[in-house]
A and B are shown apart, each in its own frame.
Chain A
Amino acid sequence: EAGVAQSPRYKIIEKRQSVAFWCNPISGHATLYWYQQILGQGPKLLIQFQNNGVVDDSQLPKDRFSAERLKGVDSTLKIQPAKLEDSAVYLCASSLGWDPKNYGYTFGSGTRLTVV
């Protein structure tokens, strides 16, 4: 089974620039998540999709962050304009949803963003 694919792996931008990250979840996984992981901290949920609908975006800084999941498969996360404190690893994860045997997400390797 192919894993969760993310690109790019690394990105360095200047503050106030914009950036976009891409995620391709595991085939058949209806639920997709974007997490932000700041160095030395645990991941924090930014947004959760169920198919192409938003389930939870309460922690997404909507003045600068946006995300979409067209056709319920791939997803993009955008930051515009970026701030220094956005430097982090952005993790995409997908899951089948509620399945006692398979509960838990599969994470991608993440995109490491550095804002200078």
Chain B
Amino acid sequence: QKEVEQDPGPLSVPEGAIVSLNCTYSNSAFQYFMWYRQYSRKGPELLMYTYSSGNKEDGRFTAQVDKSSKYISLFIRDSQPSDSATYLCAMSRGAGNMLTFGGGTRLMVKP
């Protein structure tokens, strides 16, 4: 069993839809949780970062962490075609520690 599980998709939604992306993990030592967006043939770019449990909002993006369930989510409101990419969750045990990534979910937002 992988430490971090993520549905590979693809997830196809119409423009303007609310998108929900999720990851589950098995290692209770993870404390830092991140979401990265990766466009084709590009490196991942950091979208959201959360420490421990709770919610964090940034524009159209909301990240949620539920450590009791070992479950994290990323919500995208008013999705745009430019949001079409692969979304990777990542987590680490401590500051400066290595990141463990999920396999990524491919999202397609259709105009």
Chain A residues packing against B (C-beta within 8 Å): 4, 31, 33, 40-45, 48, 50, 55-56, 91, 93, 97-98, 100, 103-110, 112
Contacts and interface: CB of A to CB of B under 8 A. Distances in A.
Interface stretch (B12-20, B40-48, B60-68, B69-77): B40-48
Contacts of A4: 43
Interface residues of B, number: 23
Contacts of A98: 95-96
Contact of B49 (A48, A104, A109): A104
B58 to A, nearest CB: 13
Contacts of B46: 104-106
Contacts of B103: 40-42
B30 interface: no
Given A41-B104, A42-B4, A42-B88, A105 B95 contact: no
B5 to A, nearest CB: 11
B9 to A, nearest CB: 11
